[in-house]
Structure 1
């Protein structure tokens, strides 16, 4: 084999084929652009930022040396493209077409090049015809095949020096006096696919030309595969694969040269294959047919190195006679094939090409399949002084032809594995200094094609394995959209502080809650992998990390971590109904074996961006109870707390706002302590770390009392109340926390308080009123237009009292930290709170400025109300909870907190009450 000579010959062929040298970069003008998939302008200048919409204006504007880039032929492009503008010698106008797909909307029906010269057209998808008329120095390259039959090519009417390469057509006719046409590395498949008529000096090299005829389907006649006729003297036909396919009884020549065209015509190194259904003969020369290459050679002096095979079945695989058997010096030879692969020496096949060359016959080269390099490192993480072994490789089917280099990444000279080495050849290296090095291997094929791969390696200081780690909460980023889930109480364990001279084989994390996880420690040279874990409930846990290196050595580190909910801002939402067991004919009961999920982060994320919500705010209504009972709501996957949220009597309806953390599975749960009832849950808003607004508690302030102003609110009526921009509440407040009380109701009804006076939520209520009973409930309401909120009752009439207890704004004071509901105080163990007296509730963090409580009054003997306020402060002229004799009444209460983390609850008048206080969360200014 003599590859160096073959490569020289191929390079020479390329210079012959291309022709004149290209212009220098300094001579080339600005490129032009055509694209209709972005803002475009046909009357513009065709820049990349503002391209032409269609090709016509670009053709008119193009100047010699310019390139016109057409990105996905515009959908409304003319069906017939005409290019009639010329470049200049050495400065052609080049048209480059690229496609996002090969659909019919991306093609031209026809391309006509007429009266033009010095043009290059690359990559155009044509459906029907390509015509070149009266044109000079034209190059057509890389025309792809459509998804159907393909276009026909017609070169004629005096055209000269037309070059067609690396393209696909159904049929080609070169005629009409065309001279010096070069047809190389193309694919033709059609009936009578190539005709050269009155076209002297035509070159047909390295093509696959398939004559497809099917008499049963009426496709084709008895045309020759390649026909050279008329005054087509001096024609060259080299290195082609000529095949016949289909079904016909015709006796059709594969290569036919008429007597008028034999002068100076040469043909050799062609591969001719017949078909089982196609009666063909190999040659016709000057009107006489010849069935064999020997007979053809004897009569014409041509085809000495032609190969004839009976069927196309022998043309595939390494046994194909087309491999390494062509003439690399033939006219029109291109050094790269139809797919851009250079001439490649197949080591499995003897080099039978001219002068021992290895060019293949036909438009494509047999390839080694090289697409990726590989690299195995026995010690990708080791201390200095360690002998590290590297095994380079690739996915080449011809590994013995490959050259591999390994650059160790530390500045030392790369190592080389030469062609012919064993497939498992290795190189070794000893690193002198610690580094986080990037090792790069390059695999080079016999034809010069290269692929690379990089891999990180860690070189460390010698020493002993010493495990260490950090653990911290995983919180959503400030710009977190929430459409992927991030549960509260999620912590990240990072063992990257471990001192590990040798590679880590395994890291085991015991989270201290009965669960553990393990993973391989190697992370591509970046260090030890972090682990993420969601705890089911807050608490203090002993976390233990055990690291094992590749030598089997273990090291363990342990530390205590306090797991808790993170402070969060409030995100207001338009209320919407999350659950109504009346509509799905189910009910909540104490005897259910499992509690009922009423919130799911996956479901919620489809309505609002709450995938990282730590806490949800709900309005919960219990109705149709079968007996006196109460409902508890708490985070899923945690034990049910000894607290309550809604108390209801048999046959009655009661509602209350509930603030509750989200469980590890993204849910909260609810359960009755006795009997059954229907459950209605309205979503109000949520708290999320690094999101929302801060809360500012205020002394409860009355903003509406219809008993003294405006009169009772009638059924199906609305009334707006200003809450922001007054009473010390800033005008930019996003939401307000209010206590809503209904009194003097004429019939059972519901009351809603909402943001937009013109758009009341169709489902969702805040308070259920009854005649003769004062009832209250807290709500968090987004602020509407002009700083207002709006009230509505569905029927009857009722007086309403509205007290503001705080507001949410960007510049508010405090963030909210939820807790698993827990009981702070219960006077049933210490004695009732007498009228005019207060009870003190302690147990809140000393730095808290506000608290969210569920306050319940029970064993009441007379109507009255309770007021929560900061310990040490003055009793405000507002109510937090209205008491009813013989009834147990709860309410969600938001209140300021006094010194020492204490809250006072005052019994205004009426009879003595037992007061039960449950903590739902607190606000701090941290």
Structure 2
């Protein structure tokens, strides 16, 4: 069963005299404000309607008015709630938790949970006329309040926190009610009342597990009513109920205390009554008394009565509890019979007795127990009534969580499933909620026809001949509408916050049809279709930019189908750049690596975006493209690696060309796929792969690109200053080659030549530790090995160039830089081939060709160049069309090898660049991966 609390709301009636103008009045505030944290349309700045609810309880608490109810949907609310507003007498402010489940035999507590980052209790100070009902909370702190009711709450802590009671009431507070709630694992006792608190009612609560202090602790707080509570587990204290100081004129009645002492101080005895309780000693061996009255201990009720006249109808029989309800303290049903002293023996007229027990049951006459309450009454002691008729569940037959829906007239079959352990006859009273007379029947199933379009909430009440009574209301309403044709209206929009190429599609209008939606699906126009489980929006990520026609198809329960269409354009956001210290994300050589060695034609999905080291993402959500240094090592055949966004078919481009036994590195700039992945494919043989992230492009990244005329910054051959083994050379970049002092990172082409040993170069910011991620390019004796490098500049505008082994000359050319005041934003493209001279004639010695295909208006392009079928050692140079040829190189080619190099090439206004071959003949392949445009 669920924790229930009924709150009466007054209805305002406005009348007017016919013929007289009505005066202007302010609009009545809505009766209910809604809070739903899991609703994607919630906002704390909105109206708090059911369609646009608040996201947080605090937002509603700061706006609620007297007489309004804050209706809170089930969910976890990670906030500390402080109530700063008051209601009015007869018009309280009500906070009502809405749970989907029930507090039944599985002891589920599915109320909305309030657990803020500080794990603070709900705080109410200086306010009045407030109801807080139906929540799972860490506790409540009330100070200087009046007419505050806490009911139907699950109060407790399940972890080690600051010791404090479940409910604390201090200051000159009055008329506070703590009713029909569960206290579970409270670390500082249950309810604690401080000096000056008056007129508190503590009734119908289950103090299931209380640590460190009494279940009820009252100090200098007169007029307290402690009625019909169950105190089951008391840890670290032998006192269950404690009236200390001058807490006079109190009532302790109808309580069930299984292990603990009821203690009343001498100054609290005046006008105080103890009766109709079941109190067991705090230990089975009678080491502690059941009562302590005016500082005198009494082991059992008879001793207390003989000495003081109190507790005339108290008892001390032990009680066993139903484990099916754990951690609730519900006594076992049909077990104790006449010997069970707490059954049918309470005083139903005792001050503060709640209308129902904690689970919503009224007084029920146990068939096997004599009625020993006043005048033969049969109310049970404690928080729970032992019942045979335990629960009922109402459903529209064939539906559980979805509402039965259809056109008027609409017939619904309602089915009530009752739980009854006694041999009693049951009567079912169905109230259909449409103004027709309720129907009482012995049948658990009825049919009813609704004739007027509206929403209806039928309910059933089940009674037995012992006074048992349970009620349930259909959780989802019956929806009856006019019989109109089905219509649908689709909205579809880019959703770049979810992914650069993401969209959200939603059928927003199907209200014309009275039938429930039976099927909803979307066709996104790229060959993918997506059915929707339930009814709502769908999210989709496209593999490539473009304009797509999206279709939403809706089918209702009558079989009617309608399709609505819309167009959406998705594109990569022009992005700034963020350079990072080289970070290794792939090394298939490592034992146990999640990534395998690649065989012929095999691919791997490389997880790039959202992957983190510690608490930081290497490439954050929203990034459009990533810059990698990709190395092929240990290859067994002439092959190449291709890198392209996931969800795309294999690209016709290539990134790294290698031969058997070669270690070949190349820079890769590639768009990131819709799931944060890029695909790495090997063409032939077997090969290991190593990948280091050097940076990423993202819409809000601060640094923008500026292209410069290619310029040579270093050539160690000019003064024969080659780098020796383990040597490092500092190279000042800022202030040279057109790179300004405020540049943050730089695009270099680094070439190793005349190397005496196999090794590698590493380029990194000056003044920082050499990164553990390894190499930027690999050195090979007798070969010229180039690679483009994107590297942050050190504090003095320099980089360090490190040689791992042997002796090698280094050539460094600059092609551009990133800075906060730059203008170039990068737009990735689906890898596209711009040139393949194998389709025509090769480049001859000194020949120059103009290459187009980069979008007009671009200032530079990210291009992968590959030289193949080369006849003599040579180099390729690329530069903006129409400008002077620079004295630099982009790629050094070797006969018999396919040599790639990533290049950042300036282009003219039409998106063209010139490409020249120095010597011999060679074929050239050029693949585009993105471009820069000034913004």
Q: TM-score, structure 1 length as denominator?
A: 0.64
Assess if the C-alpha contact under 8 Å between 1:618 and 1:659 holds in 2.
yes
- Cα offsets for 1:866-923 (capped at 9, x unmatched): 222222233234322223345432100112332333222133x333432221222333
Shift, 1:675, TM fit = 3.5
- Cα offsets for 1:407-465 (capped at 9, x unmatched): xxxxxxx747758578647573635xxxxx98777889999999988868999897544
Shift, 1:777, TM fit = 0.5
SS of equivalent residue, structure 2 residue 627: strand
In structure 2, distance between residues paired with 1:133 and 1:665? 59
Q: 2:380 aligns with which of 360, 375, 389?
A: 360
Structure 1 residues 342, 826: CA separation in 2 closer, same or farther (over 3 Å shift)? closer
- Cα offsets for 1:461-498 (capped at 9, x unmatched): 97544555354444235xxxxxxxx5x65444333366
The corresponding residue for 1:818 is: 828
Shift, 1:658, TM fit = 1.7
Shift, 1:784, TM fit = 3.8
The corresponding residue for 2:586 is: 579
Shift, 1:855, TM fit = 0.6
In structure 1, distance between residues paired with 2:756 and 2:870? 24
Assess if the C-alpha contact under 8 Å between 1:750 and 1:765 holds in 2.
yes
Assess if the C-alpha contact under 8 Å between 1:588 and 1:672 holds in 2.
no
The corresponding residue for 1:494 is: 506
In structure 2, distance between residues paired with 1:620 and 1:810? 28
Assess if the C-alpha contact under 8 Å between 1:598 and 1:681 holds in 2.
no
Alignment of 1:450-461 (within 5 A): none
Assess if the C-alpha contact under 8 Å between 1:417 and 1:425 holds in 2.
no
Deviates more, 1:359-368 or 1:816-825: 359-368
Structure 1 residues 168, 724: CA separation in 2 closer, same or farther (over 3 Å shift)? farther
The corresponding residue for 2:603 is: 595
In structure 1, distance between residues paired with 2:248 and 2:854? 95
Assess if the C-alpha contact under 8 Å between 1:318 and 1:349 holds in 2.
no
Q: Work out whether 1:335 is the aligned partner of 2:422.
A: no
The corresponding residue for 2:317 is: 243
Q: Work out whether 1:428 is the aligned partner of 2:440.
A: no
The corresponding residue for 1:226 is: 301
Alignment of 1:440-459 (within 5 A): none
The corresponding residue for 2:52 is: none
Q: 2:185 aligns with which of 102, 109, 126?
A: 102
Q: Work out whether 1:183 is the aligned partner of 2:289.
A: no
Shift, 1:827, TM fit = 2.2
Alignment of 1:193-208 (within 5 A): none
Q: Work out whether 1:900 is the aligned partner of 2:898.
A: no
Structure 1 residues 130, 784: CA separation in 2 closer, same or farther (over 3 Å shift)? same
Structure 1 residues 237, 812: CA separation in 2 closer, same or farther (over 3 Å shift)? farther
Q: Work out whether 1:831 is the aligned partner of 2:841.
A: yes
Shift, 1:826, TM fit = 1.9
SS of equivalent residue, structure 1 residue 768: strand
- Cα offsets for 1:518-545 (capped at 9, x unmatched): 2366x3xxxxx22234455677877554
Q: Work out whether 1:151 is the aligned partner of 2:238.
A: yes
Q: 2:629 aligns with which of 619, 623, 627?
A: 619
Assess if the C-alpha contact under 8 Å between 1:736 and 1:808 holds in 2.
yes
Q: 1:344 aligns with which of 329, 347, 362?
A: 362
Q: 1:917 aligns with which of 926, 930, 933?
A: 926
Shift, 1:506, TM fit = 1.4
SS of equivalent residue, structure 2 residue 808: strand
Deviates more, 1:638-647 or 1:494-503: 494-503
Structure 1 residues 470, 736: CA separation in 2 closer, same or farther (over 3 Å shift)? farther
- Cα offsets for 1:579-616 (capped at 9, x unmatched): 33333499988854633444465756875254555433
Deviates more, 1:332-341 or 1:608-617: 332-341
In structure 2, distance between residues paired with 1:589 and 1:245? 67
RMSD over equivalenced CA pairs, Å: 6.0
In structure 1, distance between residues paired with 2:514 and 2:924? 63
SS of equivalent residue, structure 2 residue 185: coil
The corresponding residue for 1:516 is: 529
Alignment of 1:520-531 (within 5 A): 523=535, 529-531=536-538
Q: 1:789 aligns with which of 799, 808, 812?
A: 799
SS of equivalent residue, structure 1 residue 430: coil
In structure 1, distance between residues paired with 2:932 and 2:262? 85
In structure 2, distance between residues paired with 1:888 and 1:243? 93
Assess if the C-alpha contact under 8 Å between 1:571 and 1:687 holds in 2.
yes
In structure 1, distance between residues paired with 2:715 and 2:471? 83
Deviates more, 1:645-654 or 1:224-233: 224-233
Structure 1 residues 244, 571: CA separation in 2 closer, same or farther (over 3 Å shift)? same
In structure 1, distance between residues paired with 2:156 and 2:448? 46
In structure 1, distance between residues paired with 2:649 and 2:501? 16
Shift, 1:341, TM fit = 6.3
In structure 2, distance between residues paired with 1:76 and 1:555? 56
- Cα offsets for 1:825-844 (capped at 9, x unmatched): 12233333344442111223
In structure 2, distance between residues paired with 1:554 and 1:312? 55
Shift, 1:335, TM fit = 1.4
Shift, 1:139, TM fit = 4.3
Assess if the C-alpha contact under 8 Å between 2:610 and 2:618 holds in 1.
no
Structure 1 residues 324, 77: CA separation in 2 closer, same or farther (over 3 Å shift)? closer
Structure 2 unmatched ranges of 5 or more = 1-86, 90-114, 128-142, 322-330, 421-425
In structure 2, distance between residues paired with 1:136 and 1:363? 23
In structure 1, distance between residues paired with 2:554 and 2:217? 73
Shift, 1:635, TM fit = 3.9
The corresponding residue for 1:261 is: none
The corresponding residue for 2:748 is: 738
Assess if the C-alpha contact under 8 Å between 2:756 and 2:806 holds in 1.
yes
In structure 2, distance between residues paired with 1:111 and 1:511? 61
Shift, 1:338, TM fit = 10
Structure 1 unmatched ranges of 5 or more = 1-23, 27-34, 41-45, 49-61, 203-222, 247-272, 274-310, 407-413, 432-436, 478-485, 524-528
Alignment of 1:882-893 (within 5 A): 882-893=892-903
Structure 1 residues 195, 366: CA separation in 2 closer, same or farther (over 3 Å shift)? closer
- Cα offsets for 1:166-210 (capped at 9, x unmatched): 5746243779975654336765333458767988999xxxxxxxx
Instruction: Give the paired residue count.
Output: 753
In structure 2, distance between residues paired with 1:233 and 1:312? 33
In structure 2, distance between residues paired with 1:609 and 1:556? 39
Assess if the C-alpha contact under 8 Å between 2:766 and 2:794 holds in 1.
yes
Assess if the C-alpha contact under 8 Å between 1:588 and 1:676 holds in 2.
no
Assess if the C-alpha contact under 8 Å between 2:157 and 2:185 holds in 1.
no
In structure 2, distance between residues paired with 1:919 and 1:75? 58
Structure 1 residues 820, 811: CA separation in 2 closer, same or farther (over 3 Å shift)? same
Structure 1 residues 716, 379: CA separation in 2 closer, same or farther (over 3 Å shift)? closer
Shift, 1:663, TM fit = 4.6
Q: Work out whether 1:476 is the aligned partner of 2:497.
A: yes
In structure 1, distance between residues paired with 2:481 and 2:782? 81
Shift, 1:624, TM fit = 3.5
SS of equivalent residue, structure 2 residue 602: coil
- Cα offsets for 1:303-340 (capped at 9, x unmatched): xxxxxxxx9974579999976675434xx454128965
